[in-house]
Amino acid sequence: METIAGSRCPDCGWVVAPPARICPRHPVEMTPVEISGYGLVLSYTTLTVAPEGFKPPLHIAVVELPGGARIFCHGRQTRQLKIGRRVAIEQVDGIFYFASLGIADRVSMFWKRRGAAPERTREAVKSAVKRFFSGYKNDGTTPPAENGEEKDPRPTEKR
């Protein structure tokens, strides 16, 4: 399972992700903490009009991780997604994705992002292999990925 970098307030114990230098509740420096990469969907949407630098349809969810921190993440679709549903979080190049992604999806996602192609492929395979051996079980709530049906939602160019 992925771990996600967060931070904890030494005073009030609040955990946020990504890590913040100062607790948003009061001016106290936070300390780093690692959070398990799964959580409950709090809400989600699909943008059919995406801002500059993104391609629609853009699927975005806010997920509450164990311990209470919430993160934003992308997915390939939101069909069958429900508020309160448990999803796995995967990090690809520092970007969070919810639910599971097929190997082909991951390869295409890596391929489309900036950087050396062979390195991307290696990373994609590594990520797929890691998923395969990590003991992660698809709990049946995640629909199978539809290869090639939807486009990579991430930016096509850096802003």
Partner 1 sequence: MRDVWIAAAAMTRFGRRSESLEDLMADAALEALREADRQPDALVVTAMAPEEFVGEGNLASHIGTYLGLSHVPGLRVETATSSGAAALYAGLALIASGFHNHVLVVGGEKMTHVSTPRVSEIISRVIDPHERSYGATMPALAGMVARAALAKGLFTEMDMARVAVKNHAHGARNPYAHFQRTVTLEEVMSSRLIADPLRLQHCCPISDGAAAVVLTSDPTGLKLAGMGQGSDYLAIRYRSSLTGFRATQDAARAAFKMAGFGPERVQVAEIHDAFAPFEILALEDTGLFPPGTATRAIQNGELTLEGRLPVNPSGGLNARGHALAATGLAQVVELVWQLTGRAVGRQVKATVGLAHSIGGMATNNWVTLVEQVA
CA 85 – CA 76 distance, rounded (Å): 16
Neighbours of 70 (CB within 10 A): 16
Cβ at position 7, least distance to partner 1 in Å: 12
Under the criterion CB under 8 A, does residue 49 sit at the interface with partner 1?
yes
What is the three-class DSSP state of 98?
Answer: strand
Binding part of the chain for partner 1, among 1-9, 26-34, 36-44, 132-140 by CB under 8 A, reads: 36-44
Half-sphere exposure of 104 (CA within 13 A, CB side): 8
Q: How far is the CB of 156 from partner 1 (least distance, A)?
A: 12
Query: Minimum Å distance from CB 104 to partner 1?
Result: 23
Nearest distance from residue 137's CB to partner 1, in Å? 26
Measured at the CA of 108, the angle between CA 88 and CA 82, to 5 degrees, comes to 30
Q: Which residue's CB is nearer to partner 1, number 20 or number 128?
A: 20
Contact map string, positions 67 to 106, toward partner 1, x by CB under 8 A? ---xxxxx---x----x-----------xx----------
Residue 45 in tokens: 């949407």
Enumerate residues 6+ apart whose C-beta is below 8 A from 77.
59, 143, 146, 150
What is the binding site for partner 1 (CB under 8 A)? 16, 18, 24, 42-54, 58, 60, 62, 70-74, 78, 83, 95-96, 153
